[in-house]
Amino acid sequence: MLHTQKSILITGCTKSSIGYALAQEFAALNYKVYATARKVSNMGDLASTRPNITLLALDVSSPDSIAAVKQQVALETAGKLDIIYHNAGYRVLAMAAETPLSETQKTFDANLFGIVEMNRQFADMLVAAKGTIVFTSSLSAYTPHPSHALYCASKAALHIYAGALRTEMKPFGIRVVLVNTGGVKTDMSSQRIELQPDSHYRYLEGKINDAWDAIGQGQMTVEEYAKQVVRKIAKSKATVIWSGSHTWSIWLAEHLNLQWVYDVYFARLYGLNNAAPPQNN
């Protein structure tokens, strides 16, 4: 049978997340949507919202899990995939010098290493379709943001990877799209830091969480964000998309080479512009 319906695989489609809303928007455009998360149950009623959405369990940090999903999708799409949308992500709030290695590993597994492996395994299907690779990135790739330095580092690494991938995939007609995501109201954006009793920053825990509360004001809904992004992916040839709150200020700082402002702003916002109080012995 000739396969004509466009297909998309989206990672990180947990209920109420960006991925959940993206799946609905692409399904509304008549894509065959393969929505994934670590557990199918995490995606709630997503499959019932549109008949062209299939839910699959996928752990992006497991090559075996990726291979199983690839096999199923390939069988149903005649070995082609029009879009692979890397949306799954992981963030831990912790100070840079106090982040456990285990949390660093989880962050890079989800935000970079798993993406690299998925692209490797799905490359033939994307080449066959002259498809598109999309990344949900973050303004954090640009900003040295206190209390989630490892997340920032993983997204900055993703930017360089995506740029190189764009050039490498050009001969095969594959488009690579990087979505610089600003403030969007999700479960991840509601996270707050809990410092250990022996943390050097214990005295700032309240200030740090107040800063996150301030940054979270006026965040875009996942539905509005998904509509904006999907429209630009489907209706334009853009390779870099900016969407979410605060994107304009970061875009301006980057284009005017005002990166020094980040240090001044974040130090003041998070209470890091003054010397720490003496430690009790």
Give 61-87 as a 3 state SS string.
CCHHHHHHHHHHHHHHCCCCCCEEEEC
3-state secondary structure of 265: helix
3-state secondary structure of 201: coil
Q: How many domains does the chain have?
A: 1
For residue 10, the surrounding DSSP H or E stretch is strand 7-10
pLDDT in tens, 162-207: 999 999 999 999 999 999 999 999 988 889 999 999 999 999 999 9
Residue 166 lies in a domain: yes
Strand bridging mode 83-86 / 7-10: parallel
For 98, the domain range is: 7-269
Structure tokens at 196: 């250990």
Read off the CATH number of the domain in which 148 is found: 3.40.50.720
Report which of residues 18 and 278 the model is more confident about: 18
Residue 178 lies in a domain: yes
Residue 276 lies in a domain: no
Which residues, including other chains, have CB under 8 Å from residue 58's CB and lie 6 or more apart?
11, 36, 37, 38, 65, 66, 69
Mean pLDDT, to the nearest integer, of 35-46? 96
Residue 277 lies in a domain: no
pLDDT in tens, 96-129: 999 999 999 999 999 999 999 999 999 999 999 9
10 Å Cβ neighbour count for 182? 20
What is the pLDDT confidence band of residue 281, given thresholds at 50, 70 and 90?
low
Mean pLDDT, to the nearest integer, of 15-25? 96
Strand partners, 243: 181
Residue 95 lies in a domain: yes
Is the confidence at residue 2, as pLDDT, over 80?
A: no
Residue 127 lies in a domain: yes
Q: What is the pLDDT of residue 1?
A: 37
Residue 2 lies in a domain: no
Mean pLDDT, to the nearest integer, of 236-249? 95
Residue 56 lies in a domain: yes
